[in-house]
Amino acid sequence: MSPGWFQFSAEDFSYAFISVLLEGVPFILLGTLVAGVIDQFLPSKTMVRFLPRNAFLGICLSAAMGLFFPMCECGVVPVIRRLIAKGLPVSNAVAYMLAAPIVNPIVAVSTYAAFRGQAAAEFTFLRLGLGFFVAVVAAFAVHNLTVGKVLRREVIESATLQPDAGGVAIRPFGRRLVGALESGVRDFLDVMVYFVLGVGVASVFSTAVNQEIIIPLALNEWTAVGSMMVLAGILSLCSTSDAFIAATFTAFPGTAKLAFLVFGPMMDLKLLFIYSAVFRKLFVAGLAVGLFVFIGLICVRLGVLGI
Amino acid sequence: MSAIASRVLSAGVLLVWAAVLLYFELSGRVANYLHPAFHFWTFSSAVVLAAMAAALLLTRPSDSDAPPIRWPARLFGTGVLVIPLLLATWISPSQFGATAVWNRGFVQDVGDLAAYQPPMDPPLPREDGSIGEGEPMNPSLYLPRNEKGQLQAEAIDLLYAAKEPTLRPDFENKEVEIIGQFLPARTGNADGDRFNLVRMFVLCCAADARPLAVTVKAAPGTSFPEMEWIKVTGRATFPVESGRHTPLVIADHIEPTEPPPETFLY
């Protein structure tokens, strides 16, 4: 008797569901607290003043900021929401949002550790390099879109409602602290709604779908890369630990694992929901398809080149 | 009035989350869900969430430019944040059942396990604590024994021993006691005398758990409820099956037992 491809158990679902919630809440809380402080204490347009005037350099700098301000993919969304409200160009925010969960020292160390004995240094370099490159290209695509096509109406309104720098500075410190709390709570509750929905969907797939069905897909470069990206999307792992999972897929070629490690932190089931707190649904769908195709093509090409 | 109600509702949701996190931490259930490295952060989050809720209730609104409250969406969001959390906390049995384990597939080759590395690097210390240059340490110093003198092995020990010729003599043909969860063998069991003894290996949380399985040979028809915790005592062997050494415990005695204090292996 072999199990079918889908068997659901409410107990298994709730167990996986709770475990991811317990693991993820601290990171989202940290992100929303930082976002609250940004909201009340960072004067509007400050970010713009420090960014290079050249759009390309600005996007590259934003994509590299994770090296100094590492954030996981769950925590980064409330932060960029506040940064956008403070005047950070959307393309720069997208560059940081996509790159920071990959291009950061914690992920570099965990990837290196997970791939010990499997060309760890090269793999780590490839992961961070490809993550940076994809984030920059995606941000450039966003640079050419109007804000109305990218952001939700509420986010645009919150950005236009922001008082100028002087307005923020004249409020007493205590009141700004309360404002930071209120802002942090709002962001936490908003993002958590999407996080809970995303974790729910991911938990169904990670407990109810027979994962052995993907093994035959490893035999072909195209299906191997595609299926590993689909798997990354379904499992919705944290970028700090996903390398340990990817490294165990010994049947799959290295480029498929690379696709898993670059696509997953940028787009997965829970992120589909979390991104929807900031971006329009059509944009999120386009971003998901674009990242899937772009990362997939690059990784297949790397495979053809023998990397 | 509307703003105050919204503030109280927000504080209520934060308090529910704080209470649930605190409950998992104080009841010890958190150990069945998360790697120990995350426990502190879960507890800290509970404290911070409770503090935020208290601050919301005890402070005057900041007059910040908050977006207008959309009550239908607000109530829907509150339901999403509270109901699934409480339901799952109530339903969750604090361990995976057989369905999830079958769907994930067994790890029976330790080389397939995350962060696997050969065990001989760095050199093991001598009995007096000094560094032995490549000499293996006496196994009796690091392998605990029960009152009958049997080695208290974990599933991962036997998987490593199957993979590593240098470790195999520590266990091969030795009497061992091993605890795990029962699952029947669906393949390679023509005589009906084998079953799987399963332990979950975790990196961060239960969602990434992978089932490690050691095969046990016992009297034909031996059976327990799926995923029941059992203690097996018997002889550890490592026959070559499907082209590689696999751990096989020839059981002398099997009995139901309580789950170990740490149900996960790390």
Q: Using one digit for the tens of pLDDT, what is the confidence trace for A132-150?
A: 999 999 999 999 999 999 9
What torsion, rounded to 10 degrees, do the Cα atoms A112, A113, A118, A124 define? -10
Give me the pLDDT at residue A167, please: 46
Cβ–Cβ under 8 Å, residues A170 and A49: no
B91 CB neighbours in chain A (<8 A) are 10-11, 14
> Which range is least confidently modeled, A26-40, B59-73, B158-172, B178-192?
B59-73
Cα of A57 to nearest chain B Cα, Å: 33
- Whether A1 shows a pLDDT value over 50: the answer reads no
- Whether A131 shows a pLDDT value over 90: the answer reads yes
A185 and B104 within 8 Å at the Cβ level: the answer is no
Task: Provide CB contacts within 8 A for B147, sequence distance 6+.
Answer: none
A192 CB neighbours in chain B (<8 A) are 81
The two beta strands, B194-201 and B210-217, are antiparallel
Nearest Cα residue to B231 out of B115, B167, B152, B163 = B152
- When CB atoms are compared, the residue of B33, B81, B117 closest to A116 is B117
Please indicate whether residue A247 or residue B138 has the higher confidence score (pLDDT).
Answer: A247
Q: pLDDT band for position B4 (50/70/90)?
A: confident
Q: Average pLDDT in the B31-49 region?
A: 93
Residue A288, number of CB atoms within 10 A of its CB: 18
Measured distance CA(B189)–CA(B191) in Å, rounded? 6
B88 and A17 within 8 Å at the Cβ level: the answer is yes
Instruction: Tell me what percent of the residues of chain A surpass a pLDDT of 90.
Output: 45
Q: Average pLDDT in the B239-248 region?
A: 92
B112 CB neighbours in chain A (<8 A) are 248, 250
Q: pLDDT band for position B46 (50/70/90)?
A: very high
Cα of A130 to nearest chain B Cα, Å: 23
pLDDT in tens, A36-87: 888 788 776 777 778 888 999 999 999 998 898 888 887 889 889 888 988 8
B48 CB neighbours in chain A (<8 A) are 29, 33
A15 CB neighbours in chain B (<8 A) are 33, 92-96, 100, 206
pLDDT in tens, A219-244: 888 999 999 999 899 888 778 768 86
> Which range is least confidently modeled, A1-5, A142-146, A254-258, B130-134?
B130-134
- Whether A303 shows a pLDDT value over 90: the answer reads no
Please indicate whether residue A172 or residue B211 has the higher confidence score (pLDDT).
Answer: B211
Average pLDDT, chain A: 87
Q: Chain A to chain B, count of Cβ pairs less than 8 Å apart?
A: 184
B84 and A196 within 8 Å at the Cβ level: the answer is yes
pLDDT in tens, A200-221: 887 887 889 887 887 788 888 8
pLDDT in tens, A255-288: 999 999 999 999 998 899 999 989 999 999 999 9
Q: pLDDT band for position A114 (50/70/90)?
A: confident
Measured distance CA(A255)–CA(A221) in Å, rounded? 8
- When CB atoms are compared, the residue of B17, B44, B206 closest to A15 is B206
Mutate: best of B14, B21, B49, B62, partner A, most A CBs <10 A: B62
Cβ–Cβ under 8 Å, residues B88 and A17: yes
Cβ–Cβ under 8 Å, residues A39 and A179: yes
B198 CB neighbours in chain A (<8 A) are none
Cβ–Cβ under 8 Å, residues B237 and B220: no
Q: Average pLDDT in the B203-223 region?
A: 90
Measure Cα distances from B230 to B143, B210, B260 in Å. 20, 19, 10
CA B1 from centroid of its chain's CA atoms = 48
A22 and B24 within 8 Å at the Cβ level: the answer is yes
Nearest Cα residue to A93 out of A59, A66, A64 = A59
Give me the pLDDT at residue B115, please: 58
Q: What is the ipTM of this complex?
A: 0.89
Give me the pLDDT at residue B20, please: 98
The two beta strands, B248-256 and B229-237, are antiparallel
Q: pLDDT band for position A166 (50/70/90)?
A: very low
- How would you class A124 by CB atoms within 10 Å of its CB: exposed for 0-12, middle for 13-18, buried for 19 or more? buried
- When CB atoms are compared, the residue of B14, B91, B112 closest to A185 is B14
Nearest Cα residue to A174 out of B18, B68, B64, B7 = B64
- Whether B120 shows a pLDDT value over 70: the answer reads no
Q: Average pLDDT in the B178-200 region?
A: 93
Q: pLDDT band for position B132 (50/70/90)?
A: low
